[in-house]
Amino acid sequence: MTTAKPQPNNPYDICTWQPEELCEGCPLRGRLKCRFRSGDLLHFMGMFAGFAIPAVIGMARGGFGWWLLGWFAFAMFFFNVWESRILCSHCPYYAEGGRVLHCIANYGALKLWKYHPEPMSRAEKVQFWIGLAILSGFPFPFLLLGRQWALAFVAFWGLILFFWTLNRYTCTRCVNFSCPLNRTPKAFRDEYVRRNLTIRKAWEASGQRVEDPAKGEA
């Protein structure tokens, strides 16, 4: 677990927000996306753009441009309010001090909620799937009604590639371990949780097992 004294920008003493020189010798270094890297954020945004750009163009060309305002409004609500509470507030990136989230996906979102180190609840996971379905599915009825078949296909293929790439290169190394999309190996997850006492206490209080290789038990 971490041992450095909590700092104003790291009130929960989470290793993600400790000085990077303290990462020397950590077995998780390079195996988890536990430090902010602008390249990770640009990769995420670029892949999402492969879905969003053809969807926006198609809705505009199909005569449904004004409905883009509704999509944008929902996206702002989802990223800054709804998803921020049910998903982001459980992530170690959210534990940073300050009012703006700095992470590899939802960068720039306002932090309206307190940090929740415990895992997501079942109800929160269901809400996440519902919100994600609305966000990603919103443009397709308008693309089809506007007869934008080619752009609908490109947007759909872009969405498939986005989730495939996310699952292959991000979700297998992400530190938001209770996210429904997370695929981080349990050994890496447990190692990270053991190094962060705030998270470990919250996970164990919620009934999650954190294995200690030295003892062979949680």
* Structure confidence at residue 6 (pLDDT): 57
Average pLDDT along the chain: 93
Q: How confident is the model at residue 217 (pLDDT cuts 50, 70, 90)?
A: very low
Q: What is the pLDDT of residues 113-152, one digit of tens each?
A: 999 999 999 999 999 999 999 999 999 999 999 999 999 9
Which one-letter amino acid corresponds to residue 180?
P
Decide if pLDDT at 215 tops 70: no
Residue 181 CA to residue 96 CA, distance in Å, equals 23
Please write down the long-range contacts of 56-59, taking CB distance under 8 Å and 24 or more positions apart.
56/139, 57/151, 58/139, 58/142, 58/143, 58/146, 58/148, 58/151, 58/152, 58/155, 59/139, 59/142, 59/143, 59/146, 59/148
Q: Residue 21 has which token pair?
A: 């020189």
The domain spans of the chain are 31-205
Q: C-alpha angle with apex 155: 150 to 161, nearest 5 degrees? A: 125
How does 49-64 read in b/e, with b if 16+ C-beta sit within 10 Å?
Answer: ebbbebbbebbbebeb
- Percent over 90 (pLDDT), the chain: 87
Q: What is the mean pLDDT of residues 56-65?
A: 96
Decide if pLDDT at 218 tops 50: no
Of 48-52, 106-110, 208-212, the least confident? 208-212
Q: What is the mean pLDDT of residues 42-61?
A: 96
